[in-house]
Amino acid sequence: MTEEAAYANPILSGFYPDPSICRVGGDFYLVNSTFAYFPGIPVHRSRDLVHWELIGHALDRPSQLNLDGAGHSRGLFAPTIRHHEGTFYLTCTNVDAGGNFIVTAKDPAGPWSDPVWLEDAPGIDPSLFFDEDGRCWYCGTRPAPEGERYPGNWEIWLRELDLATLRLTGEARGIWRGALRDCVWPEGPHLYKKDGRYYLLIAEGGTGADHAVSVARSDALSGPWEGKPSNPILTHRHLGSGAPIVNVGHGDLVEDGTGDWWMTLLASRRFGGDFTVLGRETFLVPVVWEDGWPVPSPGSGRVETSYPAPRLPPDSLPAESACEHFEDPSLDPRWIFLRTPRSEFYSLSERPGFLRLKLLPATLRENAAASFVGRRLRHGEWQARTSVEFVPAADNETAGLVLLQSNDFQYRLELARSPSLSPSRTAGRSQARTPSRTVISTADRTVIRLVVAEGGADRVIAERPFPGDRAVLAVESRSGELCFRFGATPGNLELLASGVDGSVVSTERAGGFVGTVIGIFASGDIFASGDIFASGDIFASGDGFASDNRADFDWFEYGPL
């Protein structure tokens, strides 16, 4: 790129938090946290630090990644990618299923090894540092060994890693507890060496508005470590809730081969009010060195929406198709699942040109692997549409389009069976509270309904009869409000609901660490609390059973407005 050119932030839009970066020759590689989504840890490659190509996932086999029962914001925390003598090393934490681990690969596109689990490695956010003497050091964050005086009273710690056995060896020592007095959540540590000095870059302040990047340095890994007097070196905590970019933190440094330095970091953008729906995204800021300290975003000290481009040869990528017709033998790698798939719940070959989702008992309200495929929302104003063929064969069966933040915060635009309101049938189900396999009767009808979960039981916002077996489902977001439509063809859509509150699927409402995903699903679970009678009624799901039904999706379209 020429010096006159500019790039726009974020460099990876949508739910791409906790970025870690390394350079090998003229190529840069970037990884991010994925929490309860599968496959785990996307690997992107770039030659100019601006255009990023998804080349694979580090954890794409069920044998590598156990996410069974994981909450949306559990699973995989804060990976780090490094390269040493022809091998790529990736460290990460599976917080509920094994702890800290290392996987390795010769090619970052894969395959990656099965995890090597690290013994006696408490805490989270592992990182590796390869020193000039050939030794390798493991760096992570853990609770204060003497006991936490307050929540988040953790410390950065260091221990040598034997590269031959991938086992920790020698003494573990705490080296820093963050820049501020009574610092909370010092985490995401990365070590570097420049001009004979060691540098430790960390995040602190938690993952919300007080998030920040701080730095310390030392003449020896064993310390003492000196924090930069002007820490934190990058944060937006002082800008207030109205700032367009918030939650700034979790940085990693890279030298680009020309002598210029850069920092990847996470931050969130606000759209339509004081809410962040896209989650934490990956940003890039320039770094200069002054008086032996890194200075991110010199001149402003804030994350800007654009900067002069790196002095690297320009790269380009083919434009992403807005519409997927499911004609390839495999899914585009941008599609993700929720938790580790333990069965073959989808097919691209049973009906060529369609993505077939097989109904599973699990619903999107449970900590289970549902029949679901999704993609990250990446824009503030956007639209999504899909065409689905589906005939619900029982009261419990649904399929459609979902806007998913978590199990408890979501919108579903779905085809379902609205059962007969026969008093005897309703009473019987209420008393028995057991799964129903009621055969379709003339009193039953197919409906399209909009369902919201916002921290409690599902609630039907709107419902309309739909006599056909093929529907186009559509949703768009403008200025923080959602509009849902449906119809038999794309050119003949009918309004179902407008002015719907988009903040329901924001981090501020839902909590947690993930961004919102748009996707498609099919479920054969039973509504244990009885029938749904009318718009505004509340129901819950559970006690599911298997179904041999399926939903066939002809195409899926997503893009900005």
Q: What is the pLDDT along the chain (561 residues), one digit of tens a residue?
A: 444 699 999 999 999 999 999 999 999 999 999 999 999 999 999 999 999 999 999 999 999 999 999 999 999 999 999 999 999 999 999 999 999 999 999 999 999 999 999 999 999 999 999 999 999 999 999 999 999 999 999 999 999 999 999 999 999 999 999 999 999 999 999 999 999 999 999 999 999 999 999 999 999 999 999 999 999 999 999 999 889 999 999 999 999 999 999 999 999 999 978 899 999 999 999 999 999 999 999 999 999 999 999 999 989 888 888 999 999 999 999 999 999 999 999 999 999 999 999 999 999 999 999 999 999 999 999 999 999 999 998 888 999 999 999 999 999 999 999 865 333 332 222 222 333 333 444 335 789 999 999 999 999 999 999 988 999 999 999 999 999 999 999 999 999 999 999 999 999 999 999 999 999 999 985 443 333 333 444 433 334 456 789 999 999 999 999
Active site residue 18: yes
532 by DSSP, 3-state: which? coil
Q: How far apart (Å, rounded) are the C-alpha atoms in residues 404 and 158?
A: 38
Nearest alpha carbon to residue 120 among 145, 90, 149, 146: 145
Domain edges within the chain:
6-308, 323-560
**Strand-pair category, 76-84 with 53-59:** unpaired
Q: What is the rounded CA–CA span in Å between residue 410 and residue 391?
A: 23
d(CA 558, CA 384): 4
Per DSSP, 505 falls in state G
Angle at 317 between CA 311 and CA 318, to 5 degrees: 155
**Which pLDDT value is given to residue 321?**
87
Closest to 493 in 3D by CA, of 517, 474, 465, 521: 474
187 is catalytic: yes
Q: Which two tokens stand for residue 445?
A: 């009808």
**3-state secondary structure string across 12-73:** ECCCCCCCEEEEECCEEEEECCCECEECEEEEEEECCCCCCEEEEEEECCCCCCCCCCCCCC
Closest CA to 262 of 30, 88, 80, 91: 30
Q: Identify the active-site residue in 18, 155, 252, 552.
A: 18
Structure tokens at 89: 């090393």
Three-class HEC string of 328-384: CCCCCCCCEEECCCCCCCEECCCCCCCEEEECECCCCCCCCCCEEEEEECCCCCEEE
91-98: long-range pairs with CB below 8 Å, 24+: 91/126, 91/127, 91/128, 91/138, 92/40, 92/41, 92/126, 93/123, 93/124, 93/125, 93/126, 94/65, 94/66, 94/67, 95/124, 96/69, 96/70, 97/66, 97/67, 97/68, 97/70, 98/66
Is 6-308 a CATH 3.60.20.10 domain? no
* β strands within 131-275, DSSP E: 136-143, 154-162, 167-176, 187-194, 197-204, 212-218, 226-227, 234-235, 245-255, 261-269
**Which one of 48, 60, 155, 187 is the catalytic residue?**
187
Would you state the structure tokens that stand for residue 271, as one six-digit string?
A: 């759209």
pLDDT number for residue 546: 66
- CATH topology assigned to domain 323-560: Jelly Rolls (2.60.120)
CB 201 within 8 A of CB 213: yes
HSE of 378, CA atoms in CB hemisphere, 13 A = 16
